Amino acid sequence: MPAAANAPVATTAPPEEPCTNAPRTDENDKRPRCGGIGAAVAPRAYHVVGGSGDPVDDTICDISQSFVLNGRMFGVEFSGGVDGTYKFVRTPNIPGLHWSAGGRYHIEFPDGADKPGTLTTEGGGTTTAGSQSRTTSGGEHFTLTPVDNCGGAT
């Protein structure tokens, strides 16, 4: 006897990916965001404080995009995301002196992206004065605190 035309058909739904509130790793990051169906997650802004030689007190509007932290003497550009690279993009304009530096960084939010976290750098640089150069290596530590509004910062 033939099967009924309106008999139920068994289907298997693909497994649902768990939601996350972590910043997007790049433009291809399609992981669903928590907060409800269709809820758009706004870029999270953070107030950043720290550093030793040239302290920073700045705000980042969106850590998933490249950003610059500015101290009094130096500006440092970060590639964006929770892991990446950094480099000096602004140095003092002192005739005869030249600075260059770069390395890697990592951002961690042990209690979630809505709680304070840390940004740690690891790298090196060179200071040149005339024919003499000095190379150094080390790292810096910063505290990131979520803020509601980036206040026009980048």
- pLDDT digits 0-9 by tens, 33-88: 554 333 334 458 999 999 888 899 999 999 999 999 999 999 999 999 999 999 99
Q: Looking at per-residue confidence, does 57 or 18 come out higher?
A: 57
**pLDDT bucket at 91, cuts 50 / 70 / 90:** confident
SS (H, E, C) the chain: CCCCCCCCCCCCCCCCCCCECCCCCCCCCCCCECCCCCCCCCCCEEEEEECCCCCEEEEECCCCCCEEEECCCCEEEECCCCEEEEEEEECCCCCCEEEEEEEEEEEECCCCCCCCEEEEEEEEEEEEECCEEEEEEECCEEEEEEECCCCCCC
Regarding pTM above 0.85, the answer is no
- pLDDT digits 0-9 by tens, 101-152: 999 999 999 999 899 999 999 999 999 999 999 999 999 999 999 998 776 5
